[in-house]
Amino acid sequence: MQKALQKLKTQVCDLKNPQKLPGKKFKSFIENTQVALMAGGQGTRFREVLESKEVNKNAHKLPNGETMIERTIKMYAKAGIKNFIALVYHSSNSIIEKLGNGEKLGVEITYSHDPDRPVGKGGAVLNALQNGSIDPTKNLIVHNPDDVIVNFEQDFVKHIISGHIQNVQQGAEASIVVVEETPYPFTGMKIKENKVEEVEMYPLIPIPTHIGVTIFSPEVFKYFPKLFDLTKKSDFEKVLFPILSKEKKLYAVSIPGDSWIAVNNLKTYKKFVEYLQKS
């Protein structure tokens, strides 16, 4: 089975690691970059963790005392990024009370509230562009705080920015951060003529998967008024990515599969807590 899966990988995934970026180039990019934190979702699958608390999952207090959104901000702030926009809707007060204006984290945080309805990731970015929270002349890194980075031996921020800069040289206007393979959540089998020839628990499926982190160059912002409006819920992964891909403007940067946890339910939350306890 693994042989067949590896053959599939050669057909769907050809990624090269970013080269080392000169310090001046990285600094220049950092100074012209803002980070948007997707923090408006209802977190329906996370209710087992929150129980009856009225709090956004990104503001839920972790066993180590911090929150997922604080953890994300600290990671980018350590790399030198100071400008953050929290895109909020559900239980937004819990995010605002936790972060304030960002002073305690050494950064500046502004808030873009979705209209009186959830508008999805695409609508949230459009709304922030329209209300001036996002500067359309700067690069934008969009990060879902519940997509946590773990076990990454390099500097994550420098790694993805280096990859994006290289991608831009090839014609990219956006870079998505991916893992090259993810565990299949069930028992995998190889079957021939009804006979089960091989059984493997949770085999790795070698199909690149977006981990909820995207870097947009300013050139991408022109697409948002054309593709999104604030009367319906729509995500840029579903609407914008296929268009950029067709126009050969969408590229990727990869990280190892075990460096990402999508903390969106009780099972993955326990996995993340276990990591925190060990680190």
The full set of domains in the chain, from first to last, is: 20-181+208-278 (3.90.550.10)
pLDDT at 43: 59
- Strand partners of residue 143: 37, 213
Mean pLDDT computed over 242-256:
97
When pLDDT is averaged across residues 48-77 and rounded to a whole number, the result is 87
Q: Do 146 and 263 touch, CB atoms closer than 8 A?
A: yes
Summarize the confidence of residues 250-264 as an average pLDDT.
95
| pLDDT at residue 89 greater than cutoff 70 | yes
What was the pLDDT predicted at 60?
A: 87
Each residue of 225-245: pLDDT tens digit? 999 999 999 999 999 999 999
d(CA 172, CA 168): 4
In this model, does residue 143 exceed pLDDT 60?
A: yes
Q: Tell me the C-alpha distance between 228 and 126, whole Å.
A: 7
SS (H, E, C) the chain: CHHHHHHHHHHHCCCCCCCCCCHHHHHHHHHCEEEEEEECCCCHHHHHHHCCCCCCHHHCCCCCCCCHHHHHHHHHHHCCCCEEEEEECCCHHHHHHHHCCCHHHCCEEEEEECCCCCCHHHHHHHHHHHCCCCCCCCEEEEECCCEEECCCCCCHHHHHHHHHHHHHHCCCCEEEEEECCEECCCEEEEEECCEEEEEEECCEECCCEEEEEEEECHHHHHHHHHHCCCCCCCCHHHHHHHHHHHCCCEEEEEECHHHEEECCCHHHHHHHHHHHHHC
Return the pLDDT at 40: 80
Using pLDDT thresholds of 50, 70 and 90, give the confidence band for residue 52: low
What the block records as the tokens of 263 is: 């903390």
* pTM for this model (two decimals): 0.93
Distance of alpha carbon 180 from alpha carbon 87, whole angstroms = 28
Cα–Cα distance measured from residue 149 to residue 255, given in angstroms and rounded to the nearest whole number: 9
The answer to whether residue 135 scores a pLDDT higher than 80 is yes
113 DSSP β-pair partners:
88
Q: How far apart are CA 84 and CA 105, in angstroms?
A: 11
